[in-house]
Amino acid sequence: MDQAESVSVLEKKYSRRTFIKGVIATGATASSAGYLFRGSPLLGAATYQTATERLITLNVNGQERRVDVLPHETLAMTLRYKLGLTGTKLGCDRAECGACTVLIDGVSQYGCSMLTHQVRGRSVATIEGLEDADTGELSVVQKAVMEEGGFQCAFCAPGFIMAMTEMIEVNPNPTREEARLALSGNLCRCADYDKILTCAMRAAELARSV
């Protein structure tokens, strides 16, 4: 009985969420949402019943986005599965790989290791927001990556590019060693580090010439 009840509650929540998403985001979001809400054998139905979503406004890439957020939801989850911003990758989900790196008020942080509720009132920048919103022109870091062909599989690229974006703000004239330290919070399993560093140096060069 309890089981049947909780299933119906789940279904209601699920369909309501899908509806809101249909309004605010793309079809891609709705299909990937299954990942987030499919539950896990370790999660009892009670977990869902006690969790209450709140509608909050997030500033993402300069836009005000209204989104329903659970208290225990991480920013990477919200970005990917509710806002359709799948450029931010989830690699380890343990602050150990850097694939989820986003900029919070211009400072690089791991999106997997903060709650969405913690970034209310702050500005979130993801890989999708780097290009010029009006002209679609790529940022200097993106251009540098295109020019130098820095990545092999590029799963780690969004994280690295966000870290580089912060780096050229903080230190527009880095040595290769400084760039290495600035990017030491991102892993590349193809081990393309040398080429990635060349991208970072090229990005700084492009930024200085703008």
Pick the binder of other proteins from 17, 67, 73, 127 (CB under 8 A).
73
Quickly list H helices, 121-192: 140-148, 157-170, 176-182
Q: CA-to-CA distance for 139 and 199, rounded, in angstroms? A: 13
Question: Interface mask (CB under 8 A) for other proteins, residues 13-52, using x and -?
Answer: ----------------------xx-xxx-xx---xx-xx-
> The dihedral of CA 195, 124, 81, 85: what is its sign?
negative
10 makes contact with other proteins (CB under 8 A): no
Q: Which stretch binds other proteins (CB under 8 A): 9-17, 134-142, 183-191, 202-210?
A: 183-191
Q: CA-to-CA distance for 1 and 148, rounded, in angstroms? A: 60
Question: Interface mask (CB under 8 A) for other proteins, residues 111-150, using x and -?
Answer: -xxxx-xx--------------------------------
Sheet holding 54-60, edge to edge: 63-69, 54-60, 123-125, 101-104, 107-110
Applying CB under 8 A, which residues contact other proteins? 35-36, 38-40, 42-43, 47-48, 50-51, 70-74, 77, 90, 92-96, 98, 101, 107-110, 112-115, 117-118, 163, 181-182, 184-186
